[in-house]
């Protein structure tokens, strides 16, 4: 009986892995677009960019306090504008002082965008502030070459893919402490001011923790054609099948053991 139960367990485990394997492999091909969280890691921020005035600066030089980093590109027809608008709204309403408690750094992932492009986009958003006092140095806009863009995005876990003149990329802002430690990832294109405040306060104390959107990130994947996030039914179904089969293996194994004759 024990040998029979072991054979069944081996067969069902093999069947589970066989069925889940192709789905997992297919999902792996989608991973280049998304976020590989580096929570708690001190990442290399010494990559050089050009600010909206045409001056050369490293990101590390700008991170003198908790810093909100976000990657976009200024000619983006998709989620970049909603993300920047959502970030500007949250910063406007957050119960903290820009330039004292935090700084914002926006970085273009398109290597042919220029300081002039950054200056135009910056001027547009800086004019929107009314409640929050936002000085020139409180929100920095950067452009750079492909090597520095790739170096910084890899370091922070931001994975994107170029599709012609456009880019498929996730919608996220990152909060780092003054040492360059990744403290928080906030996903989407709108951000709760309270959540942003807590992320900045945690970064000020070099605290970090798992993102609240980890489950959502697993259940949703970025659709480059629709330029948005869609429910990943295949990933969810594969997970449910895997859990169901493992549960079935566990049940029949327990039953097999319970039917074994007691040795005297």
Where along the chain do its domains lie? Answer: 2-31+231-258, 34-212
Q: What is 34-212's CATH topology?
A: Glutaredoxin (3.40.30)
**pLDDT tens digits along 71-109:** 999 999 889 999 999 999 999 999 999 999 999 999 999
Asked if residue 5 has pLDDT above 50, the reply is: no
d(CA 238, CA 137): 48
| In the chain, % of residues over pLDDT 70 | 71
Q: Which of 11, 14, 40 is nearest to 210 (CA)?
A: 40
Taking each helix axis from N to C end, the angle separating 233-258 and 2-28, rounded to the nearest 10 degrees, works out to 170
Strand-strand pairing, 67-72 and 103-108: parallel
- Give me the pLDDT at residue 260, please: 57
d(CA 28, CA 25): 5
| Structure tokens belonging to residue 58 | 């490293």
**pLDDT tens digits along 196-247:** 999 999 999 998 876 544 444 555 554 545 544 455 666 666 767 777 777 7
Helix (H, G, I), strand (E, B) or coil at 50: strand
Q: Which of 146, 173, 161 is nearest to 227 (CA)?
A: 161
pLDDT, mean over the chain: 81
């Amino acid at each position: 009986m024990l040998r029979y139960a072991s054979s069944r367990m081996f067969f069902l485990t093999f069947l589970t892995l066989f069925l889940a394997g192709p789905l997992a492999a297919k999902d792996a091909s989608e991973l280049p677009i998304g976020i590989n969280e580096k929570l708690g890691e001190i990442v290399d921020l010494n990559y050089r960019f050009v600010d909206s005035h045409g001056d050369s600066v490293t990101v590390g030089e700008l991170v003198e306090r908790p810093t909100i980093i976000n990657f976009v590109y200024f000619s983006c027809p998709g989620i970049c504008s909603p993300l920047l608008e959502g970030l500007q709204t949250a910063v406007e309403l957050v119960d903290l002082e820009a330039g004292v408690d935090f700084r914002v750094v926006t970085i273009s992932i398109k290597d042919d965008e220029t300081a002039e492009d950054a200056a135009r986009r910056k001027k547009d958003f800086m004019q929107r502030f009314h409640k929050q006092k936002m000085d020139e140095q409180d929100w920095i806009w950067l452009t750079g070459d492909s090597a520095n863009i790739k170096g910084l995005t890899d370091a922070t876990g931001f994975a994107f893919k170029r599709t012609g003149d456009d880019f498929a990329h996730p919608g996220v802002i990152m909060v780092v402490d003054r040492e360059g430690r990744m403290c928080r990832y906030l996903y989407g294109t709108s951000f709760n001011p309270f959540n942003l405040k807590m992320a900045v306060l945690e970064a000020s104390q070099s605290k970090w923790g798992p993102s609240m959107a980890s489950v959502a990130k697993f259940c949703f994947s970025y659709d480059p054609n629709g330029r948005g996030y869609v429910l990943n039914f295949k990933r969810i179904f594969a997970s449910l099948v895997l859990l169901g089969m493992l549960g079935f293996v566990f049940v029949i194994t327990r039953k097999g053991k319970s039917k074994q004759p007691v040795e005297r």
